[in-house]
Amino acid sequence: MTTKKQTEGAVETLPQIETPKMYKVILLNDDYTPMDFVILILRRFFAKSEEESTKIMLDVHKKWSGVAGVFTLEIAEMKVMQVNQFARSNQHPLKCMMEPE
């Protein structure tokens, strides 16, 4: 898309940058996944500090879901796949999903 801008009589055509749609990557609570494992996921896949990871994990634990991060479509899809795969391969029922922001 382009837009026209008037600068001192001259009309300039500027490229219009579209802002990409963003997606929330959400962790769901369950009764079995160890808290330390959830913290490990937040540190490993979402680059959160120990403190921030603990805060998000406890938030999910209390409210049954919480946002681990917000990403563009392809990155969000990759995070969801990686987290679900990592949980499954460690025999934990933790589930990760995404939704439009």
Ramachandran region, residue 81 (left: φ > 0; alpha: ψ -120 to 50; beta: rest): alpha
Q: Is 42 in the site for ligand TYC (CB under 6 A)?
A: no
Tokens 């879901």 belong to 65
Among 25, 26, 57, 83, binds ligand TYC (CB under 6 A): 57
- Backbone angles phi and psi of 51, in degrees to 5: -65, -50
| 56 or 71: CB nearest ligand TYC | 56
Q: Is 33 in the site for ligand TYC (CB under 6 A)?
A: yes
Q: Is 94 in the site for ligand TYC (CB under 6 A)?
A: yes
